[in-house]
A and B are shown apart, each in its own frame.
Chain A
Amino acid sequence: MVAESGISRGRAIIKRGKLIKIDVSFREDRIEELKITGDFFLHPEEKIDELEKSLRGKSVKEIREVIERVLENAEYVGLSPDTLVEAVNQAWKRRN
């Protein structure tokens, strides 16, 4: 399944009332691309792009700090720093 050396992909789906799906591609242990989708609420909505952009290039260990910073003044339902960290970690564990 290895298409390019060092690249792996993982997906996680977390359902706690609302659904969060995360698709991540990793280069070695760093996030290369990620997409967060789901039926959650996040105000302002554009924070999602900022979140995805800020997480690129980060290692799994570094994500909590980034997520907490980006979402600091945001309001959300069905999405939180904890669930996002959990989802990325799941995607990391399940990568192929």
Chain B
Amino acid sequence: MELRVIFDKKNKAAWNMALDEAVLMHLGELGPTLRFYGWFPPAVSIGYFQSMEEEIDLKKASELGVDVVRRLTGGGAVYHKYELTYSIVLPPPPGKILDSYRIVEKGIVNGLKALGVDAELSGINDIVVGGKKISGNAQTRRYGGMLQHGTLLMDVDVDEMFSLLKVPQEKMKDKMIKNVKERVTSLHNLGIDIEFEELQKIMGEGFKKALNAELYEENLPDKVLSQARKLEVEKYGSRKWNFKR
């Protein structure tokens, strides 16, 4: 398989989600496409089924200049700050959807291995190192294609994360923060401090191996970028979408 790869920069939340969807819409013309990106300003994304108001302290997000956005994919709220994110669009492989998550997740596991980190898949959508989560992943099927995106934590500030996220029981918050600190890790915590751009290249090789693909770098055509701009304004930047649940 030939896999188009785009080493992107850190973008606004609505643009990132819009471009993921625009690429998915154009899978037929683009062919399999992998994009690495980051988030600037930092952002909280919520899962497709979550409630914006119940998950995020919106006042705090606004104070800290943190973007908020609803994803096209399920799963939980994620604070994107010190991380590398990937998104990949592929023709759907045969078999169960839930079994296909790991095909892509192996790309991250391979990339981590190249960094000397022994990671493994956990459940459907997590990647762990020594039992601690370092990557979360989520997938959707739409427009005849498959989109999976996921995170790789380069560093993590659990206290800042919880200042933005609401928890079901406020009195349990301290306990939850302690729990998450024990259950989450990052490249920095593993003693690896690496440039964002360099990490993209290493992870690209990881996906290449996982998917038995040939990588080629090619930018997205204007048509796809215009589609993304439209989605950025009309969907991912809109109250209607972000607050729909």
**Could you tell me which A residues sit within 8 Å of B by CB distance?**
13, 15, 17-19, 21, 35-45, 48, 75, 77
List 16 A-B residue pairs with CB atoms under 8 Å apart, sorted by A's residue number.
Answer: A18-B76, A19-B168, A35-B245, A36-B49, A38-B50, A40-B49, A41-B74, A41-B98, A41-B125, A41-B138, A43-B141, A45-B48, A45-B73, A45-B74, A75-B98, A77-B98
Enumerate chain B residues within 8 angstroms of A43, measured Cβ to Cβ. 97-98, 139-141
Tally of contact residues, B, Cβ under 8 A: 25
The interface residues of chain A lying within 8 Å CB-to-CB of B54 are 21, 37
For A43, give the chain B residue with the smallest CB separation: B97
Interface SS of chain B: loop
Contact (A37, B97) CB under 8 Å given A13-B168, A44-B141:
no
With contact pairs A21-B54, A37-B245, A43-B140 given, residues A75 and B49 touching in the complex (Cβ less than 8 Å): no
Q: A13-B168, A77-B98 are in contact. Are A39 and B49 (CB under 8 A)?
A: yes
**Main DSSP-derived SS at the A contact region:** strand
Chain A residues positioned under 8 Å from B47 (CB to CB): 38-39
Q: How far is the CA of A70 from the CA of B140 in the complex (A)?
A: 19
Quote the shortest CB–CB distance from B125 to chain A (angstroms): 7
Contact A37 B75 (CB under 8 A): no
B residues bordering A, Cβ < 8 Å?
Answer: 47-51, 54, 72-77, 96-98, 123-125, 138-142, 168, 245
**Complex Cα distance A35/B53, Å?**
14
Question: Across the interface, do B125 and A37 meet the contact criterion of CB distance under 8 Å?
Answer: no
Nearest-neighbour CB distance to chain B for A6, whole angstroms, equals: 26
Chain A residues near B124 (CB, 8 Å)?
Answer: 41, 77
Q: Are A37 and B74 interface neighbours, CB within 8 A?
A: no
Contact (Cβ within 8 A) A41 B245: no
Which B residues are in CB contact (< 8 Å) with A13? 168
Query: In whole Å, how far is B126's beta carbon from the nearest beta carbon of chain A?
Result: 11
* C-alpha gap A44/B139 in the complex (Å): 10
Of the candidates B49, B51, B168, the one whose C-beta lies within 8 Å of that of A42 is B49
Further contacts, 7 of them, CB under 8 A, given A35-B245, A39-B76, A45-B49: A13-B168, A19-B76, A21-B54, A38-B50, A45-B74, A75-B96, A75-B98
